[in-house]
């Protein structure tokens, strides 16, 4: 691959990384209930993906260690936003579900960041971001699939 392509691709991923760091810090400051971005992300996962999951499935989805996910789930459970119960079909596994209070906290979180999004929209209208959003979704899908490839 030509050096110029490498530079362009590195810059692309570097910009995404910086945007992620800045957006995470900005959003986390606005989240209610002393939620961290990790806690909010788990609540949001339950709305986007599935209504229940094992801690292992969640850890894989977020690419974190089991211990890190257990810590996040304990904090969500202490806040009443998630329920961790033994899986009736397995003596060893646990199942995690989001509580109605967790759904409310997720919705409140989105409402809390709405002023930030409105300000952002004045600088970057949504119509102009639609193409980029589609491309980023394609990049995300590629990277998501890539992590499950066998490495040899």
In a domain, 78, yes or no: yes
Helical spans, DSSP H, in 1-152 = 3-30, 37-48, 55-62, 66-78, 100-123, 126-146
In a domain, 6, yes or no: no
What is the model's pLDDT at position 1? Answer: 65
Query: How does DSSP classify residue 88?
Result: T
Quickly tell me which residue has 């490495």 as its tokens: 151
Q: How many CB atoms lie within 10 A of CB 35?
A: 24
97-136: per-residue pLDDT in tens? 999 999 999 999 999 999 999 999 999 998 889 989 999 9
Q: What's the pTM? A: 0.82
Is residue 133 within 8 A of residue 74, CB to CB? The reply is no
In a domain, 152, yes or no: no
Rounded-to-integer distance, Cα 48 and Cα 120, Å? 23
Give me the CATH number covering residue 68.
1.10.10.10
In a domain, 109, yes or no: yes
What is the model's pLDDT at position 71? Answer: 97
What is the model's pLDDT at position 151? Answer: 61
Digit-by-digit pLDDT tens for the chain (152 residues) are: 677 789 999 999 999 999 999 999 999 999 999 999 999 999 999 999 999 999 999 999 999 999 999 999 999 999 999 999 998 887 789 999 999 999 999 999 999 999 999 999 999 998 889 989 999 999 999 998 898 886 65
In a domain, 16, yes or no: no
Write out the residue range of the structural domain in which residue 64 sits: 31-146
In a domain, 134, yes or no: yes
Query: How does DSSP classify residue 97?
Result: E
DSSP string, 117-136: HHHHHHHS-HHHHHHHHHHH
In a domain, 48, yes or no: yes
Domains held by the chain: number: 1
In a domain, 86, yes or no: yes
Backbone angles phi, psi at 49, to 5 degrees: -115, -55
């Amino acid at each position: 691959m030509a050096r110029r392509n490498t530079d362009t691709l590195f810059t692309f991923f570097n910009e995404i990384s910086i945007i992620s760091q800045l957006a995470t810090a900005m959003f986390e400051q606005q989240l209610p209930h002393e939620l961290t971005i990790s806690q909010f992300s788990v609540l949001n996962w339950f709305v986007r993906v599935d209504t229940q999951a094992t801690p292992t499935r969640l850890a894989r989805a977020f690419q974190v260690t089991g211990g890190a996910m257990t810590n996040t789930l304990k904090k969500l459970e202490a806040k009443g936003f998630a329920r961790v119960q033994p899986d009736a079909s397995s003596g060893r596994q646990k199942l995690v579900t989001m509580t109605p209070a967790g759904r409310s906290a997720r919705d409140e979180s989105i409402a809390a960041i709405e002023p930030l999004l409105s300000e952002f929209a004045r600088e970057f209208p949504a119509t102009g971001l639609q193409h980029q959003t589609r491309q980023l979704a394609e990049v995300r899908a590629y990277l998501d699939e890539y992590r499950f490839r066998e490495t040899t």
